[in-house]
Structure 1
Amino acid sequence: MEKLKFLIVLFLSTFQAAFSITDGLLPNGDFEHGPKPSQLKGSEVVGTDAIPNWTVSGFVEYIKSGQKQGDMLLIVPEGAFAVRLGNEASIKQKVNFTKGSFYSITFSAARTCAQEEKLNVSVVPTTEDADWGVIPIQTMYGSNGWESFACGFRADFPQGEIVIHNPGVAEDPACGPLIDSVALRVLNPPKRTRANLLKNGNFEEGPYVFPKASWGVLIPPHIEDSHSPLPGWIVESLKAVKYIDSNHFSVPEGQRAIELVAGKESALAQVVITTIGKTYDLTFAVGDANNACEGSMIVEAFAGRDSVQVSYQSKGKGGFIRGKLRFKAVSTRTRVRFLSTFYTMKNDNSGSLCGPVLDDVKLLSVRYPSPHA
């Protein structure tokens, strides 16, 4: 099965200059500055420092948009250039961090001709609480042939090296994944307030979104709260959820939202402190992203032993409705969970998965609940 692996670790290095990035591309993170002609053998990069700001090892190619490989056209996600990582190849860049801060890495990747492509993203040396996550990339969430992905980590050292490595061994070493647009963002851990017992209920705090990218950012499955690129939330499903922005999608509230793109396999959760016997209202917005995702949609919301289904008939052109779940807490810790009942595909014949948008999630205690509410 084709999959991406993320290993979140940290490493001190002394061989290249380090840069401090708080919100945006790494230096030459889009690979638009390439090797000199003397540092290329065809498309193969010759020399560990041939790509400005990056150190390469193994079979690394510098790919131009529209370049052909046999009958296959190689498409670069953004700009004119990207890199392709062959068997056991890697690229890395040194970065300065604020020790103890949380970060997210966003990058774009595309499959080429290998059947089982994998990708390790690491920030090294190793920390004791390093996280692992696995993304099956054979699932098509977009129709462009590539996706943007996000992973999160805590900086336990003031300096580290971001490494992207292809551990695969394909029959053709030139059949590795394309990598483009590597960015970093500092995450501000959200807090609960009197207006909302949930953290980051409006999803405004999250990974870096490329300004010109119209396909959103996938947050991989099995991501826990401690190192989530979506602070406060747990992706506890088998498939990813998609982080979308109001510049390219219809968003019910604010600038960011979540699209539940894989039915019941695309679930989002948060554990909140509650008082046993107290009544709470969970409210949220359900809509569509204005991305040709049409049809009957249902978002299921769970809180403790209670649940509700909110139906939304999407025309694929934006819009939303409000949902509400009133429940009585039966525990001091209540898991709030959302998922989409159905699989939905875009109506553009791409076979791309899509789904309902979730936003503006709030949890409040009800002081004097009516028995008929």
Structure 2
Amino acid sequence: MRSAVLLLLVFAAAHAAAVVTDGLLPNGNFELGPAKSELVNGTVVKGGKAIPKWETSGFVEYIESGHKQGDMLLVVPQGAYAVRLGNDASILQRIPVARGSYYAITFSAARTCAQAERLNVSVSPESGVLPMQTIYGSNGWDSYAWAFKAKLDVVDLVIHNPGVEEDPACGPLIDAVAIRTLYPPTLSKGNMLKNGGFEEGPYFLPNASWGVLVPPNIEDDHSPLPAWMIMSSKAVKYVDAAHFKVPEGARAVELVGGKESALVQEVRTVPGWAYRLSFAVGDSADGCKGSMVAEAYAARSTLKVPYESNGAGGYKRAVLDFVAVRDRTRVVFQSAFYHMKADGTLCGPVIDDAKLVGLRKKPAARRLML
């Protein structure tokens, strides 16, 4: 009996040690490449297991930074190499995970010569579609986050280009694939909102100064920002203090989609009771200048918070009091307008340090901008 228990403990410890850790996946930056004999015409990958730690299918190219395609120069953001997914091509890696846990995948992608590119991301048995028509990063690269719940002990991560172009080499570049375990946030004292400071979220790639795009819920069944939903059709940008200025803590959310994206959390409330929502509005020091307006909604109350940005960082605080009309109330943040930086990339106001408290007795309507 004692031997059997010991064997189970050893097995459990071995499994726990094998579970993937936060950071780049094995060869997640593709710096280990195929042998020259496994490349056709210098770039086309021959054989499904030519790239270490990855399985490939379809028209996959192994691209070195500075590779020229016609008049276009291909640049790799992390290290010296990336892969390009041509017509109906995919890359796959098997990942040991903890069954029942939540994870966020982060990876960088760039369009090449096709205009209406999209990527299918799946972790068996779940999948999502990430459109790439909108470019948010000033250097042509964007980092995307996609979340999943592990339903098996080992899952297959697949990134697939479903497109079929006249030129089979017209497809997105993929680089720096990473993972982070997500821990469902709990309520903290003095705040009815979970993850109100946005400290829990996807992995930030080293030196990726363009942040991480969090897709809307129509494209991702599980949010990479635990407790928050991204509604409508555009993404929001997750930013960190290492590369941006944030009002509080280490992370915040930049509303880059105008009214086409909304940051939403649903909370339990008591109809007829009064509540106070407080939050910070600012800019992330990414060069986004101009007159911004962040909007907050709760129950039947609305607050528009003007913020004049010089693009160098800063913030102001705002308060919205409201009376609940249902037993569940949606707290919503969005940008009233689209904003663009001088290089033409989308940007917007930053939201951080969101707190919700109950006041119980009904106050007079109050909207403050501090």
Distance in 1 (alpha carbons) for counterparts of 2:120 and 2:219: 18
Distance in 2 (alpha carbons) for counterparts of 1:352 and 1:217: 14
Distance in 2 (alpha carbons) for counterparts of 1:330 and 1:372: 14
Distance in 2 (alpha carbons) for counterparts of 1:224 and 1:304: 26
1:241-267: CA deviations, max 9, x gaps? 000000000100011100000211121
* Amino acid corresponding to residue 63 of structure 1 in structure 2: I
Distance 1:278 1:304, change over 3 A: same
In structure 2, what is the equivalent of residue 354 of structure 1? Answer: 347
In structure 2, what is the equivalent of residue 305 of structure 1? Answer: 300
Distance in 2 (alpha carbons) for counterparts of 1:225 and 1:61: 27
In structure 2, what is the equivalent of residue 168 of structure 1? Answer: 163
CA contact (8 A) 1:292 1:346 kept: yes
Distance in 1 (alpha carbons) for counterparts of 2:53 and 2:19: 13
In structure 2, what is the equivalent of residue 138 of structure 1? Answer: 133
Query: 1:32 aligned to 2:15?
Result: no
Q: Percent identity?
A: 61
Equivalence map 1:179-328=2 (5 Å): 179-223=174-218, 227-328=222-323
Higher relative contact order (CA 8 A, sep 6+): 1
* Amino acid corresponding to residue 270 of structure 1 in structure 2: Q
Equivalence map 1:77-156=2 (5 Å): 77-124=77-124, 126=125, 130=126, 132=128, 134-156=129-151
Distance in 2 (alpha carbons) for counterparts of 1:329 and 1:157: 41
1:158 pairs, out of 138, 150, 153, with 153
Distance in 2 (alpha carbons) for counterparts of 1:74 and 1:105: 24
* Amino acid corresponding to residue 87 of structure 1 in structure 2: N
Instruction: Tell me the matched-pair count.
Output: 349
CA contact (8 A) 1:58 1:88 kept: yes
In structure 1, what is the equivalent of residue 14 of structure 2? Answer: none
How far 1:123 sits from its partner (Å)? 1.0
Distance in 1 (alpha carbons) for counterparts of 2:197 and 2:161: 35
Question: Highest CA radius of gyration, 1 or 2?
Answer: 2
Distance 1:226 1:43, change over 3 A: closer
* Amino acid corresponding to residue 98 of structure 2 in structure 1: T
Q: Which runs of 5+ in 1 are unaligned?
A: 1-17
Query: TM-score scaled by structure 2?
Result: 0.91
In structure 2, what is the equivalent of residue 8 of structure 1? Answer: none
How far 1:135 sits from its partner (Å)? 3.8
Equivalence map 1:1-16=2 (5 Å): none
Distance in 2 (alpha carbons) for counterparts of 1:372 and 1:207: 37
Distance in 2 (alpha carbons) for counterparts of 1:45 and 1:84: 10
How far 1:59 sits from its partner (Å)? 1.3
In structure 1, what is the equivalent of residue 53 of structure 2? Answer: 53
Distance 1:224 1:164, change over 3 A: closer
Distance 1:357 1:184, change over 3 A: same
1:118-157: CA deviations, max 9, x gaps? 2111112x2xxx464x443222212111100011110011
Distance in 2 (alpha carbons) for counterparts of 1:294 and 1:140: 19
In structure 1, what is the equivalent of residue 6 of structure 2? Answer: none
In structure 1, what is the equivalent of residue 5 of structure 2? Answer: none
In structure 2, what is the equivalent of residue 21 of structure 1? Answer: 20
CA contact (8 A) 2:322 2:365 kept: no
CA contact (8 A) 2:118 2:130 kept: no
Runs of 4+ in 1 over 6 A off after TM superposition: none
Three-state SS of the structure 2 residue aligned to 1:119 is strand
Distance in 1 (alpha carbons) for counterparts of 2:257 and 2:116: 21
Q: Which runs of 5+ in 2 are unaligned?
A: 1-16
Three-state SS of the structure 1 residue aligned to 2:118 is coil
Distance 1:336 1:131, change over 3 A: farther
How far 1:198 sits from its partner (Å)? 0.7
Distance in 2 (alpha carbons) for counterparts of 1:200 and 1:359: 10
Three-state SS of the structure 2 residue aligned to 1:236 is strand
Distance 1:209 1:140, change over 3 A: same
How far 1:237 sits from its partner (Å)? 2.0
CA contact (8 A) 1:225 1:231 kept: no
Distance in 2 (alpha carbons) for counterparts of 1:135 and 1:46: 27
How far 1:112 sits from its partner (Å)? 0.6
How far 1:368 sits from its partner (Å)? 5.5
* Amino acid corresponding to residue 273 of structure 1 in structure 2: R
How far 1:115 sits from its partner (Å)? 2.9
How far 1:186 sits from its partner (Å)? 0.5
